[in-house]
Copies of this chain bind each other. A is one copy, B any other.
């Protein structure tokens, strides 16, 4: 008989998506959080903690609030998806978001240490920023500011790649999972417009890449949805004459 948990499933398992705008937008139409929420339907809640424009320095202020160390039920998994803003260049239009690469790495380490302290069994997944299309950013700037738009991109793919590598280094160093989105997306020809809608944020296809890579990691980490118990019996298991039997708890 199918096992299920019946006690206070308002407290069902949580998977937290922590990051910047690419995470904040994950629960929009075609976002990568939507198929994830569907895949874990009746098994885990997907909680979006995405903060548009935030870098790791600013996100540090949220850490204790989002992941209190005294939580009785910490997330079973958390994605940490920053770097796109940290990699903004000094002396360009988004320089206020810039975080030096060594500080970025140290911030990621602090995130990971904090989450491990929250729960030593939590599946932690570092996701690198996606690649950056400078042409896409300039086209976007023109679409917003017309002829007055900057002619010099505020981010470059090369520097974003350095932040992506830094992210992978931290993941390996600390023994947590990672997705090198920067590399992965560039394996596909035309990634600049296929996966990015404004040179930085994701298209439907770009969101699909994040979802597919993440599901692979969760499967490998033993978090496959099909192996997790459903919260309550499937309706076909309910005997309409004796429905109470299906709801007797199996511990």
Known: A38-B27, A45-B47. A10 touches B58 (CB 8 A): no
Determine how many copies of this chain the complex contains.
2
Contact of A24 among B7, B29, B42 (CB under 8 A): B42
Residues of B within 8 A of A67 (CB): 10
Select from chain B the residue with minimum beta-carbon distance to A67.
B10
Contact B235 A7 (CB under 8 A): no
Residues of B within 8 A of A52 (CB): 234-235
User: Is A187 interfacial (CB-CB < 8 Å)?
Assistant: no
Select from chain B the residue with minimum beta-carbon distance to A6.
B65
User: Is A145 interfacial (CB-CB < 8 Å)?
Assistant: no
User: Is A232 interfacial (CB-CB < 8 Å)?
Assistant: yes
| Count of interface residues, chain A, beta-carbon cutoff 8 Å | 49
Residues of B within 8 A of A121 (CB): none
Q: A7-B65, A29-B30 are in contact. List 9 more A-B contacts (CB 8 A).
A: A10-B14, A27-B34, A28-B38, A45-B47, A45-B48, A52-B234, A52-B235, A53-B234, A58-B238
Which residue numbers of A lie inside 8 Å of B, CB to CB?
Answer: 6-10, 14, 16, 24, 27-31, 34-35, 37-38, 41-42, 45, 47-54, 57-58, 61-62, 65-68, 71, 96-97, 232, 234-236, 238, 240, 243-244, 246-247
